[in-house]
Amino acid sequence: MHYRTRFAPSPTGLLHVGNAYSALFCARWAEQHDAELILRIEDIDHTRCRPAYADALIEDMHWLGLKWQGSVQYQSQRSQAYMQAIVTLRDMKMIYPCFCTRKEIKEEVLRMASAPHLEDLSVEYPGICKNRDVDEQIQRMQNESFAWRLDIDKALAAVGSGLSWQDEAGVRHAHDIHHDIIIGRKDISFSYHLAVVIDDAAQGITDVIRGDDLRESTGIHRMLQSLLGLPEPVYHHHPLLCGLDGERLAKRNGGLSLQYLRQMGVDAGKLRDFLFQLDPQVWPFAVDQTTEILDVLGNTS
């Protein structure tokens, strides 16, 4: 069997060592399985993604030594494919327009709650717009912003409640979807969930390798694949690289960027080897420990 996987970052900021760990995890798996590695830039969220970050991440990947097959794919160039999927799901009556704001959803959840500890409730969509009259939907769609929600009841009736996904060990996991998720957002038209399953199918991805933070999304992706008649890949979820505080490294919390490390004088080869050897997956340096970082990872040639 011919294997193919992908590394698919979003250009919402500079890549950091946690992103490097994920990229190298994908690359190592591809090398071990004689698989093709694809680079996809998931930039459909024009409210957060920036072309400058996309250019920077490609430069970072080259510096890190990551090699991929073919040209880089940009999700921002594939809107037509995502829109066709929306049309297909609408024709199947699997989605409906939702006009609710986050505040309205939260207020409705609190009104419906019977539990004494409201702070323990997770805010899941309570179906406010689910059964609106079709004429009302059409009229409001002409004048109001809306999102597309997947009708989970209709979807499960169509694909069966036994829907599951398979991990790298061959174990199957239940879908674990219990409310109507958004697959088309008000501001960017398409959700990550929809775009990623369309692209994985179009690129012939056999194995999806990504961080454990996306495990909960896998059931949603299998649901969309089943409804749209798309192939089912195998899913691998690797551990996340965390900081000394135990929190996963992220662009928003100051994770050291690859650009900063490169400018500091870190050697890419030493960084690759260092990340592979981490057990547990904890980045052991604080942001201000420049001397300590260079002692371990500096270019001494």
In this structure, are residues 181 and 149 in contact, taking their beta carbons and an 8 Å threshold? yes
Q: Report the pLDDT value the prediction gives residue 123, as an integer from 0 to 100.
A: 57
Q: Give dist(CA 206, CA 199) in Å, integer.
A: 12
The percent of residues in the chain predicted with pLDDT above 90, rounded, is 74
Q: Which domain holds residue 62?
A: 4-77+195-297
* 21 contacts 272 by C-beta, under 8 angstroms: no
Residues 58 and 134 in one domain: no
pLDDT at 115 (0 to 100): 38
The H or E element that residue 216 is part of is none
User: Taking Cα atoms as reference points, which of 277, 280, 285, 215 lies closest to residue 255?
Assistant: 285
The CATH number that applies at residue 118 is 3.90.800
pLDDT in tens, 16-66: 999 999 999 999 999 999 999 999 999 999 889 999 999 999 999 999 999
288: domain CATH number is 3.40.50.620
Domain boundary among 184, 219, 240: 184
Pair (224, 285) in one structural domain: yes
C-alpha Rg value of the chain to the nearest Å: 21
Dump pLDDT digits (tens) for 154-202. Answer: 999 999 989 999 999 999 999 888 889 999 987 778 899 999 999 999 9
Give the pLDDT score at 118.
Answer: 36
- DSSP character at residue 241: P
Is residue 147 one of the residues assigned to a domain?
yes
pTM of the full structure: 0.90
In terms of domains, do 31 and 49 share one?
A: yes
Number of domains in the chain: 2
Question: Does residue 118 lie within any of the structural domains?
Answer: yes
First to last CA, the chain: 42
Verify that 104 and 140 share a domain, yes or no. Answer: yes
Clarify whether residues 291 and 203 are in a common domain: yes
Span of 105-109, 210-214, 257-261 with lowest mean pLDDT = 105-109
Question: Does the pLDDT of residue 88 top 60, yes or no?
Answer: yes
